[in-house]
Amino acid sequence: MELTSPAELLKKNALAVQDYSLLAARSVTNLFRRPRYVPDIIYQADLIGVGSLPIVVLTGTFTGAVLALNTRATLEQFGVLSLTGQLVSVSMVRELGPVLTSLMVAGRNASGMASELGSMQVTEQIDAMRALGTDPYKKLVTPRVVSTVFMMFFLTIISDLVGLVGGWFISYTWIGLDTFQYWNTAYQALKFADVTLGLVKPVLFGFIIATVGCYYGLSTRGGTQGVGRSTTQAVVVASVLIIAVDFFATKFLLFIFG
């Protein structure tokens, strides 16, 4: 294995950050330039949004259920089992809904984008597209970014909702909590800041998933092995970025809302 000098490594990483930033910026500025690929956006929205629905529903339901299950012992100690709904709703809406949905979508779609665009790159299809007078950033990147951002917003809402249903199911069948009490505390506990926090995050995460997936796809080198490498890197980087941005976004939004 060839050893790389630290300066060379730093230069390579700085170049990667620059290329990623340019791609991210172009994916947004292309929204204001013609042609606009509306059918591609709809197709991608179906692929990303509707296609991810089963895993998001399953993840959300079981996360809500396990939250209720795990907190039972603690809440029971303090005699506040009635607050199960509040705990599930705040945890789901503020944190677990957006983050877990994003991680699931990243695993499914960042990898899909990286492998699809990576295969196109190594078989010269991207060059062919440019040679045919079509901007691959407009045709391939922007529709994926727009549809991921858009669908992440709604997928998170669905995840939050089914998480609450999962929590209710456990609270009702296992803990013996009254249905009205559960939903009432769950609803009453949510504040404007919680909902805003929970709905701003998926937009940021959706942008990260699509841009990282497209960046690794379009920078693929080295045949089928390169496609595999890009796919893995896209999922890893997107997941780590989601967790890191989650921290900073939470900190920032808490500062805004107090």
Partner 1 sequence: MATSANQPTGTIHKAIIFEDVAIGFEGLTVLDGVSFELKRGETKALLGVAGSGKSTILKLCLGLIKPDRGSIYVLGHDVTTMSEEELFNLRNMIGIVFQESALFDSLIVRDNVAFRLMEEKLPEHEIDERVREALRFVELEQTMNMFPAELSGGMRRRVGIARAIITRPEILLYDSPTGGLDPITSTTIIELIMKQRDVYKTSALLVSHRLQDGFMLATHRYDPDRKHMIPIDGSALREVLTTFLILKDGKVMFDGTGSELVEVKDPYIREYIS
Q: Given the rule CB under 8 A, which residues bind partner 1?
A: 35, 119-120, 123-125, 127-135
Helix, strand, or coil here: 124? coil
At 209, give phi and psi (nearest 5°).
Answer: -55, -50
Q: Which is nearer to partner 1, 119 or 156 (CB)?
A: 119
Residue listed under structure tokens 């391939």: 140
Instruction: List, in order, residues 6 or more apart from 45 with CB less than 8 Å away.
Output: 147, 150, 151
For the bound state, the minimum distance from the C-beta of residue 118 to partner 1, rounded and expressed in Å, comes to: 13
Q: Which is nearer to partner 1, 1 or 132 (CB)?
A: 132
Please check whether residue 198 is in contact with residue 164, taking contact to mean a CB–CB distance below 8 angstroms. Answer: no
Q: Count H helices and E strands in the chain, helices first.
A: 12, 0
| Token pair for 164 | 């609450």
For the bound state, the minimum distance from the C-beta of residue 174 to partner 1, rounded and expressed in Å, comes to: 47
| Token pair for 40 | 């591609």
For the bound state, the minimum distance from the C-beta of residue 72 to partner 1, rounded and expressed in Å, comes to: 50
Instruction: List, in order, residues 6 or more apart from 83 with CB less than 8 Å away.
Output: 75, 185
For the bound state, the minimum distance from the C-beta of residue 38 to partner 1, rounded and expressed in Å, comes to: 12
For the bound state, the minimum distance from the C-beta of residue 127 to partner 1, rounded and expressed in Å, comes to: 6
Q: Which is nearer to partner 1, 1 or 131 (CB)?
A: 131
Q: Which is nearer to partner 1, 26 or 72 (CB)?
A: 26
Q: Which is nearer to partner 1, 130 or 191 (CB)?
A: 130
In this structure, how many other beta carbons lie within 10 angstroms of the beta carbon of residue 153? 18
